[in-house]
Amino acid sequence: MHIVYLNGDYVPKSAAKISIYDRGLLFSDAVYEVISVIGGQLIDMERHVARLERSLGELSINAFADWAVVAQQLVADNDLGEGLIYLQVSRGVMEERDYRWPAPETPPTIFAFAQKRSLVENPMVTRGMRIITRPDLRWQRCDIKTTQLLYASLMKMEAEAAGVDDVWMTRDDLVTEGTSQNAHIISQDGVLISHQLDRRILPGVTRIEMLEQARSMGLAVEERAFSIDEAKQAAEAFISSSTLLIMPVVEIDGHPIGHGRPGEQTTKIRQSYLAVVQTPPPITN
Ligand code: PDD
């Protein structure tokens, strides 16, 4: 993985340099996307572009690029079969440090890189994830995919210290989401429950396709928040994200979910999700 993208150019990674005055560094004044690549194909690129443009719009960052072309070029240049593309846009450079934004014509800083990673084959699929819960102390605009990831990073370290795989965060005793995944449960009577789209969670791209697959499997879906207790009583629990795809959760705060093994419906949802994303795109002339 040696070729990266920076402000219009594809360059070796050692040649990609940005200013210490970049607002992405100084204020986390930046948004990003992580797009999975499976079988050399970008997964759900159009939805990632739509979310990126929404994030940029919410923060009034003026940035335009042919996002899909950039991502595709990095897949090709780095010969990426499976892994991810990371794409970040900051408000740009401001040499006089100021909380207020620079003039709107300030050029944004746009960069992207590729990372090779095994996504489909993951040992966690068969053993399932173990989760602990913690208060969600992030800001109240979690619907914008900003690079302010320090709290999520702290929570990942807590999970590691506790010997588990991740943290589900809660506000008012209701589960919002994982540190970098959306959280879902399936109740004992077979209803898939997933937090409604609002400012408390990131509108996951994987979540959209996951819900489509679950509905086409005949599962009823309720988009609402659930409590930790409700999650502990659920038949199944799982997460969705671009890097883990659909991943079963088998334990929450030491309490086994269902039989303490990956749930049957979750496994089916993962399989049908994979079948959809692995279908080669139609040949167009
Ligand atoms: N994270 N919620 C949060 C807080 C996230 O950071 C992510 C993705 C998701 C899932 O969204 P999607 O299905 O669009 O990947 C939910 C990425 C993978 C990351 O930060 O690495």
pLDDT tens per residue, range 264-282:
999 999 999 999 998 877 7
Tell me the mean pLDDT in the region 130-145.
98
- All CATH 3.20.10.10 domain ranges of the chain, comma separated, are 124-277
**The dihedral formed by the CA atoms of 183, 271, 241 and 73, expressed in degrees to the nearest 10:** -170
Tokens of 140: 């109240």
Which helix (H) or strand (E) segment is 265 a member of? Answer: helix 264-277
- All CATH 3.30.470.10 domain ranges of the chain, comma separated, are 3-116
Q: Is 145 a catalytic residue?
A: yes
What DSSP designation does 93 have? B
Nearest to 10 by CA among 87, 74, 80: 74
Ramachandran class of 172: left when φ > 0, alpha when ψ lies in -120 to 50, beta otherwise: left
pLDDT at 96: 95
> Of 141, 146, 180, 200, which is best to mutate to test ligand 1, by the most ligand atoms within 8 angstroms of its C-beta?
180
Predicted TM-score (pTM) of this structure: 0.96
Tell me the mean pLDDT in the region 240-254.
98
Nearest CA to ligand 1 atom 20: 180
Half-sphere exposure (Cβ direction) of 269: Cα atoms closer than 13 Å = 30
Tell me the mean pLDDT in the region 246-254.
98
pLDDT tens per residue, range 198-220:
999 999 999 999 999 999 999 99
Tell me the mean pLDDT in the region 122-139.
98
| CATH no., domain 124-277 | 3.20.10.10
Report the topology of domain 3-116. Answer: D-amino Acid Aminotransferase; Chain A, domain 1 (3.30.470)
Q: Percent of the chain beyond pLDDT 90?
A: 96
Q: Residues 145, 156, 232, 268: which is the catalytic one? A: 145
Is pLDDT above 70 for 72?
Answer: yes
Nearest to 82 by CA among 283, 284, 267, 274: 274
What span, in angstroms and rounded, lies between the C-alpha atoms of 24 and 4?
18
Tell me the mean pLDDT in the region 124-140.
98
Tell me the mean pLDDT in the region 57-70.
97
**The dihedral formed by the CA atoms of 275, 277, 280 and 285, expressed in degrees to the nearest 10:** 140
pLDDT at 245: 98
The residue ranking higher by pLDDT, 285 or 122, is: 122
Nearest CA to ligand 1 atom 3: 180
Is pLDDT above 90 for 127?
Answer: yes
Tokens 């080669």 found at: 280
Q: Is 119 in the pocket of ligand 1 (CB under 6 A)?
A: no
Q: Is 194 in the pocket of ligand 1 (CB under 6 A)?
A: no
pLDDT at 282: 72
Question: What are the CA-CA distances from residue 31 to residues 13, 34, 55 (Å)?
Answer: 21, 11, 7
Ligand 1 atom closest to the CA of 51, numbered from 1: 14
Is pLDDT above 70 for 1?
Answer: no
Question: What are the CA-CA distances from residue 283 to residues 35, 40, 239 (Å)?
Answer: 22, 15, 32
Q: How many angstroms does the Cα of residue 244 sit away from the middle of ligand 1?
A: 9
Nearest to 269 by CA among 202, 205, 192, 196: 192
Nearest CA to ligand 1 atom 5: 180
> Of 241, 269, 273, 277, which is best to mutate to test ligand 1, by the most ligand atoms within 8 angstroms of its C-beta?
241
Please, what is the average pLDDT of the chain?
Answer: 97
